Amino acid sequence: MITPEAVPSPLLSPQGAKVIIGGLGDSIIPTPIAPTPNTLFGPRGICLVDNGSLWVVDTGHHRLLGWRSHPQSDNQPADWIIGQPDFFSEGKNSNGNPTASTLSVPTGICICGEGLAVADAWNHRVLIWKQIPEDSNVPADIVLGQADFSQGEPNRGFVDTECDRLHWCYGVFYHQGKLFVADTGNRRVLIWNQLPESNGQPADLVLGQPDFTSRNENGGGTPTAASMRWCHSIAIWQGNLVVADAGNNRIMLWEGIPKENNTPCVAILGQSNFEQVELNRGVYFPSAVSLNMPYGVTVAKDWLLVADTANSRLLGWQFSGDLKSLPGKPANALIGQSDFQSKGENRVYGLPLRDSFCWCYAVEVCGDTVAIADSGNNRVMLWNLNNP
């Protein structure tokens, strides 16, 4: 196995999470989790807002929970809810049909201009609020992937896809006026060059497929530098586009932001070349250069932080130079496991700790705070960045 030259210093505070929302993990027996203002069921998205508020995608309860300010104590109850009539109800689309304020398996979330964007995956749409909600059940202003808020079929009910259709969209990201959507079921990333202003507005650019009508896994062939299998989250690192391609067990990196359809990436993390896609590089145990279904990616100062989901760990890379020299570079930081060769959920398949994970899906940074959607432990962790 390939290991770093030296044991890296912790990227996050060694004391573990400063605040945990959704339960401290006093049981490893799967039990139904009733919705309340401070419980979570398989959360997959977090959004730390500069004004101090926090939004969590409570995926299994089909709702968003909002806090007026970043919680300061464990299990602090939420102030707002979107997607259900109250904090104690659950059900896809609030047990009805899609509307501008209902959700069905929501996943990704991000700041979008002055507002908020949410990947409402099983309604096969992205919801956009022009202003960040500051109350419960504020309806979204714009929907992408569907003609209106009442529709919820994959690819608008068609067998084929197009530039205005979505199928299991799991990730959203916004950067300098551009909106990026991981259209996971169509095995592609769609880019809007400007923030959409109308319902169903078509995307301007596609990555992962040769055109807007194709949707085959890895472009219908073997994996390449341009193809995707299960794209999930998106980031910009040192000006370069980054996509977590969980199905191919790799992170894809482009030089800058692509301007043409199906532009191939120039580097990857997690695999030795563009053709190899096996989990943990075909070995049971992980290493400092391998990945197993990485769903989350974000940037902390000059670091790239990756949620290596099925290995129940976070990896951090610190790098400057030619991206083409990045493949094969071992991670510089490890969080959640005792060493790079370990992969157990909560390290030893035991009770959750303040510094352990069970299928961490998303990671988000705001200032010196790192938020982690620790989905398998049904919680969100707020952690201090260790001044990397």
Phi, psi of 165 (to 5 degrees): -125, 155
| Residue 332, pLDDT above cutoff 50 | yes
d(CA 184, CA 166): 8
pLDDT tens profile 51-100 = 789 999 999 999 999 999 999 999 999 999 999 999 999 999 999 999 99
| Residue 42, pLDDT above cutoff 50 | yes
The alpha carbon of residue 90 and the mean position of all alpha carbons in its chain are separated, in whole angstroms, by 22
As a whole-number percent, the residues of the chain with pLDDT over 70 amount to 95
- Burial pattern 307-341, b for ≥16 Cβ within 10 A else e, equals bbbbbbbbbbbbbeeebeebbebbbbbbbbbeebe
Residue of 4, 8, 3 whose CA lies nearest to 334: 8
pLDDT tens profile 103-156 = 999 999 999 999 999 999 999 999 999 999 999 999 999 999 999 999 999 999
| Residue 30, pLDDT above cutoff 60 | no
Residues sharing a CB contact under 8 Å with residue 354, sequence separation 6 or more, in sequence order? 15, 16, 17, 20, 381
DSSP string, 336-349: SSSSTT---THHHH
pLDDT of res. 32: 72
pLDDT of res. 4: 41
As a whole-number percent, the residues of the chain with pLDDT over 90 amount to 88
| Residue 29, pLDDT above cutoff 90 | no
What's the pLDDT band for 31 if we cut at 50, 70, 90?
A: low
Phi, psi of 337 (to 5 degrees): -130, 160
φ/ψ bin of 262: left (φ > 0), alpha (ψ from -120 to 50), beta (otherwise): left
For the chain, list the domains and their CATH numbers: 19-384 (2.120.10.30)
DSSP string, 301-330: TTEEEEEEGGGTEEEEEE--S-GGG-TTPP
Reported pTM: 0.96
pLDDT of res. 248: 98
| Residue 1, pLDDT above cutoff 60 | no
| Residue 41, pLDDT above cutoff 80 | yes
* DSSP H helix total and E strand total for the chain: 1, 24
- Burial pattern 102-132, b for ≥16 Cβ within 10 A else e, equals bbbbbbbbbbbbebbbbbbbbbbbbbbbeeb
| Residue 297, pLDDT above cutoff 80 | yes
d(CA 346, CA 358): 6
pLDDT of res. 267: 97
| Residue 172, pLDDT above cutoff 90 | yes
The alpha carbon of residue 284 and the mean position of all alpha carbons in its chain are separated, in whole angstroms, by 25
pLDDT tens profile 271-287 = 999 999 999 999 999 99
Q: How many CB atoms lie within 10 A of CB 348?
A: 11
> In Å, how far are 109, 234, 270 from 364, measured between CA atoms?
10, 11, 20
Please calculate the CA angle 230-365-367 and round it to the nearest 5 degrees. 160
If you average pLDDT over residues 288-303, what whole number do you get?
Answer: 96
Least confident span in 165-174, 180-189, 315-324: 315-324
| Residue 25, pLDDT above cutoff 90 | no
Per the listing, tokens 């095995």 go with 187
Q: How many CB atoms lie within 10 A of CB 13?
A: 18
Phi, psi of 323 (to 5 degrees): -60, -30
| Residue 387, pLDDT above cutoff 70 | no
Query: Between 383 and 11, where is the model more confident?
Result: 383
Please report which helix (H) or strand (E) contains residue 163, including its range.
none
In the predicted model, what is the mean pLDDT of the chain? 94
d(CA 163, CA 168): 15
Per the listing, tokens 């259709």 go with 165
| C-alpha count within 13 angstroms, C-beta hemisphere, residue 18 | 14
What's the pLDDT band for 50 if we cut at 50, 70, 90?
A: confident
If you average pLDDT over residues 224-246, what whole number do you get?
Answer: 98
